[in-house]
Amino acid sequence: MVIPARNEAESIVATLAPLQAWRTAGDEVILVDGGSEDATRALATPLVDRLISAGPGRALQMNAGAALASGEWLLFLHADTRLPAAARERLLAEAARTARPWGRFDLRLSGEARLLRLVERLINLRSRLTGIATGDQGIFVRRALFEQVGGYERVPLMEDVRLSATLRRHARPLCLRPPLTTSSRRWEHHGIWRTIVLMWRLRTLHALGVAPERLAKRYHAH
């Protein structure tokens, strides 16, 4: 399991604590720090198998972690995301049953606002229809396929969309329930409707061929 992080002291222990069962089962948890200036590294150290540093940017961080991982499967988990109970068993059982080489989980946002329930339903439906996943959904992939497609493109935004679009050419994703839970802080801080509009605008521009570097400027300006 590869977890990119940067200044996630507030949430990192809650993310890593449930993963100790994965470590007990023989899986490794690798945290790739992108230059944290808070206590992320100190808090994470006793809860991971390896903690390394990489330049900021999730694509760079996740590729660095994947290069060190030794397992057959790679699971990329955001630092503010919690996997559901029995996620490991569910993943392995469904992957064996379907022979799908990659996939993702359904998503639930942590906030209680009713509008967030609509947002998460639309995200999950869109993902099932298009075969495209986002990093918030916990993308998992067989190591051999990940290496075959060259890993994540080194782009500042949409690295998850671009990877899943490439993986989709090999197979449709395995879509797992129950959902993982990811923080809704971005949606709540910037406004739910405003974030919805921004994300759909960025996805549309990306589909039209706008460079990820230009999209990243719009995203960070927001």
Provide the domain count of the chain: 1
The pLDDT value given to residue 22: 96
CA distance 163 to 25: 28
> pLDDT digit string (tens) for 19-31?
999 999 999 999 9
The pLDDT value given to residue 35: 95
Flag whether 128 is in a domain.
yes
* Residue 99 contacts residue 132 (beta carbons within 8 Å): no
Flag whether 153 is in a domain.
yes
> pLDDT digit string (tens) for 155-205?
999 999 999 999 999 999 999 999 999 999 888 888 988 988 888 898 888
Flag whether 221 is in a domain.
no
Flag whether 149 is in a domain.
yes
- Please state the three-class secondary structure of 134-202 as a single string: CHHHCCEEEHHHHHHCCCCCCCCCCHHHHHHHHHHCCCCCEEEEEEEEECCHHHHHHCHHHHHHHHHHH
Q: What mean pLDDT do residues 33-52 have? A: 97
The pLDDT value given to residue 9: 96
The CATH code of the domain that includes 69 is 3.90.550.10
Flag whether 222 is in a domain.
no
* Residue 222 pLDDT level (bands cut at 50, 70, 90): low
Flag whether 210 is in a domain.
no
Joined together, the tokens standing for residue 116 give: 């967030």
CA distance 79 to 31: 9
Distance of CA 195 to the CA centre of its chain: 18
Flag whether 193 is in a domain.
no
Host domain of residue 59: 2-182
CA distance 65 to 101: 19
pLDDT at 40 over 80: yes
Helix axis angle for 212-221 and 192-207, nearest 10°, is: 170
Kind and range of the H or E element at 81?
A: strand 81-82
* Residue 90 pLDDT level (bands cut at 50, 70, 90): very high
Joined together, the tokens standing for residue 90 give: 């569910």
What's the mean pLDDT when you consider all of the chain? 94
Instruction: Report residue 104: phi and psi, to 5°.
Output: -160, 170
> pLDDT digit string (tens) for 105-136?
999 999 999 999 999 999 999 999 999 999 99
Q: Which residues contact 41 (CB under 8 A, 6 or more apart)?
A: 33, 51
Q: What mean pLDDT do residues 133-160 have? A: 96
The pLDDT value given to residue 218: 76
* Residue 206 pLDDT level (bands cut at 50, 70, 90): confident
Flag whether 191 is in a domain.
no
> pLDDT digit string (tens) for 71-80?
999 999 999 9
* Residue 141 contacts residue 102 (beta carbons within 8 Å): yes
Closest CA to 69 of 12, 26, 6, 101: 26
Dihedral (C-alpha) 71, 107, 84, 185: value to the nearest 10 degrees?
Answer: 100
